[in-house]
Structure 1
């Protein structure tokens, strides 16, 4: 048995039966290491070596959590909720409620898309925006699985398609690794090439909004009644909140570091006294606690990925797939996408998957006679696959962090499974179509 397949299967199975994701990743890594020929000590050593690679991400999310709580203390979330309330307060009839639901979904979709490209703060906006809106969503009986799908779409589709913010990093990484693997590509060709796979995600989003989760779903509102928020805001505090967000964006782009971006935003809030110095410690601590689970998952996912890399079974999986393919381009495209799905589901990051699969996928695609554009589409889609539905991905962990503050949203069944169905399946289909026609 291939260690990658076994490790991912164990991790997913344990997650589906509601075992904690961190424990599922550690167990999957242990089983995968043993299956791949490592002994227990070697597996533990590889896992321990790998967790260090997730430290920077974990620290980034911890500081982003602190930044989010600091921003919330300025009253910006309350202001945003008040704006939404004014828009929906007079809509008491069924048509008005439908329009209110549509407005909330549109606002969340727009902001989540902006978080990847226009204002690249990634998932930091979720604990800012979503918890204060849960009370409204409960009153309107909006299915939180729909909101999870909307958030995940905004956290993934824009960076795949648009060469700005995180999208610029993704596409540069894609181009660099494809060129290292023996195929010269034009960076300007990547957005148009990945348009077809992203259209698959658009189809999935439309299905989620208009078919899968359109029916009302009841939640208990009393448990989050305090989320209606008693904090106050002033024009100055709102202005400084936007200044802090912009500074965070600019510093993050210039330094390519979420850590220093979040630190800059926090300093702006403290210097402007939008947040008091004597409250700094408690606010940062609360924010870090809020994002701690995501940090631990990303650390465990990094160790999981290192174990799989040490076994060498990622290469084995790809090579055995190549042998099975023969010269069948259609079958080859489908198997490459499925292998990409398996790898990314385990690692939880499309960015980390690109270097792993590009070195083998590019020569294989060229050998099968795929064009350069088709090769870009295959590698880009294979890397992005799994990001939406993986239990270890921040694209699912972020939505869960915001939607589960009252304990009524399960990470696996309410975030991972819905996003896997609505995005990964269409990505496979549309990615295969792109490889066939480009």
Structure 2
């Protein structure tokens, strides 16, 4: 692949060309020149309106379904969606069938993704079958390519099991992903516990369900050492507790889902199951605390928490519908409605340094790992913009600011 990206404004705080408009020459997947007015015979010229370029983004939580749930999404199409949504890398959740809890299944999903422009990094299950009983074969999975270990949307009820997991993973430097939700406190709750749940007559999930498990997990981390990532926090107290843990010097990072940042439980008024997610979208007080946590650096990563659900499990009574929304296609445009561009780019890239120890920047000699976008285009996200096989988007008909063109990665250029 030999191309020249023309008149691109670079958004990369670690690059010497940050906020400069330049041409970028790429030869066989490597950046060979950055300058003004590059000309090159037999090179494809890429010219797009109001083009901006950053180092490639990584989504820290993506679920497609394959193997086992190909009716929801395949790896091949899902990675194409990720590429056209601006993500050069994704962390792939283990909630497949069979669960990604062994070396062979890690190898299988990596092989399925090997030729894609977007790189798939498997997350291995922390426990066998994600059943919370016995630890999975984590060392073997890491040798096969797993980048971290956690049970998707499942808290480890057995505190001693999580303690042993944190101790064991230190031997090979792995990160434990610890979702926080007390099932007994959540009970049959389906939405945030508050005024809106009372008005709608829906059972509520109190913030305590998340916070009590997070408090326990942070105590365990302080006791054992090791590295812990807390995915998709949703409450003001969770932000405060993680901020305090970081001040103590604990190796803890966390993420927030786009929908928890952008939406509140006010969207539930029509009982639309597209908004049924876990953790639930909460009220404006929690939403603002999450935004503040992003801005002050407490929250490290923003994830789409992309989770494909087939129509048979989503178009049904609210209590019975499965949790989850797709989010790759809408992530960037939704975030720019509430956050500055530089912050959005930083938080969409942060997972690379946490899970991959990757500090690739935009400079001559580096592999081209680039996301191409227009940060000012205003548009409305409609069903026609959904590229995923499943259509369960919480941002359908949402007004967006910022449009993704595609990516340049793995010696491939993918443009919508």
TM-score tier by shorter-chain length is: under 0.3
Q: Which structure shows the bigger proportion of residues in helix conformation?
A: 1
TM-score normalised per structure 2? 0.26
Name the structure where strand makes up a greater proportion of residues.
2
TM-score using structure 1 length = 0.25
Structure with max Cα Rg: 1
